[in-house]
Structures are given as structure tokens and as C-alpha cells.
Amino acid sequence: MDFGFLLTAEYRDAIVAGLVVTLELSALAAIIAAVLGIILAVARMAPFAPARWLSAAYIEFIRNTPLLVQLLFWYFGAPQLLPQVWLEWLYDRNFEFAAGLAGLACYTAAFVAEDVRSGIRNVARGQMEAARACGLGYLGAMRLVILPQALRTMVPALVNQLLNLTKNSSLAMAIGVAELMYQVREVESRTFRTFEAFAAATAIYLALSLVITLFAAWRERGRPQPHARHPA
């Protein structure tokens, strides 16, 4: 085994470029998934039946179909629904990245929505009743009272979703996104050094996961803890 060839300019630059794309794809998808997941969770718990039904249908459909199938749909199927002008605009740019971003964000949002809904349920029911009694509507109560409390309890679950999203981004190579796994496969096909190439990819994904986990643990330790109340 010799990993030295990975440090040559040609292969090192390819892997670094793939890593940058992976980070960009994961970060953008995480932001979109967080926003969409919160919207879905709030809609699923809304007093309006159509909103609940639509949100539940989306979540159950996405959670019960493979991510790879969804990525292929966004790349091959969804463009057929767009006007020709939009298609030309997309194909003139990085359409593979856009399709991968849409697939990963929509997929992850369904899981984030369930984590958010679980966090909302952990907030005492009286909080919503008190907010409504103060004159806030459902959305106002969620935004100002319920979600700020719920989000504090959801950090571990959301970190887990970020980890899954980062690892799932490797499936985007199936639609031609030049992320880390795509570049590693290209290196392997040129050098026939299968073990070294994929061992390096494994180490990089492991490092990314550890960085995310350690950062989340550091942030959790840095949060102020409630002071114990001493008896008089």
C-alpha cells in the first residue's frame, strides 16, 4: 500500500475540489432543509386540516422512498416539467449541482420536520394556550413562543440529520455532481489503486463527521446551564 500518489498535484487537487463541492452541497442543503422542515412541522400541527394533510403526505412519501430514486427524479424527471427557457438556463449552469441540492434538501427536510415536531411536543401544552390567550395567532405563537423553546431540545437530533446529510451527499455522484466520492472514483479509475483511493475517502468522511460531532458537543458545553436553587 502506498498513499503517496494521492499527494501529487493532479490527484490532490481533484480530491480537494471534490471536498469543497461536498461541503458546499451539504451546507446549502442543510440550510434549505432546516427552513423547509420547520415549515412542514408547523403545518403538520396546524389547526387547519388541509395543511396537516399536505404536510403529512409529503413527509410520509419522502421518508418512504429511496434518496437515490429522488435524486434521479430531480435530474431526469423534474426538468421535463419546466419551460424550455428555464431548462436552457439551468443547463447553461451547473444543473447537476442544482438537482443534487434539490434532492438532498427535500429528502432531509422530511426527517427534520419530524424532529421539529417531536421538539414542539416536548413544550408544555400550556405554553400554546398562554400565547393564544395573549392574543397571538397560531403562527405567531409558534414563532415567538413554541419554536424558540423547542429548538433547544432538538440540537442532538438536528446534528444527527446534518451528519446523515453529509454522508448522503455521496449519492449525488450518481447524477454527475463532482463531489468527493465522484472525484475519488475518478482517481481510482485512473490509477487502479482501489484500496488507497477509497480508504482516503473513508478517512475524509470520518473526519467530517467527527468535526461536526465535536463542534456540536463544544457548543452544547458552552451553553449556560440553569443555576441550582439553594434552599434559604
The three three-digit cell numbers of residue 218, written as one number: 463544544
Q: Which three cell numbers stand for residue 228?
A: 441550582
Q: Which residue has the higher pLDDT, 15 or 218?
A: 15
Q: What percent of the chain has pLDDT over 70?
A: 95
pLDDT, tens only, 114-173: 999 999 998 888 888 898 888 888 889 898 899 998 888 888 899 999 999 999 999 999
Number of H helices, E strands in the chain: 11, 0
Residue type at position 76: F
Q: Where are the domains of the chain?
A: 4-222
Rounded to 5 degrees, what are φ and ψ at 122? -75, -15
* Angle separating helix axes 9-44 and 180-191, nearest 10 degrees: 150
Cell numbers for 84: 424550455
Grid coordinates standing for 181?
Answer: 466520492
The DSSP-derived string for 17-47 is HHHHHHHHHHHHHHHHHHHHHHHHHHHHTSS
What is the value of pTM for the model shown?
0.89
Q: Kindly report the length of the chain.
A: 232
CA–CA gap between residue 27 and residue 47 (Å, rounded): 33
CA 14 to CA 180: how far, in whole Å?
9
Q: What are the tens digits of pLDDT across the range 191-201?
A: 889 999 999 99
Range scoring the smallest mean pLDDT among 31-45, 158-172, 183-197, 215-229: 215-229
Pick the CATH number of 4-222 from 2.40.50.140, 3.40.50.920, 3.20.20.100, 1.10.3720.10: 1.10.3720.10
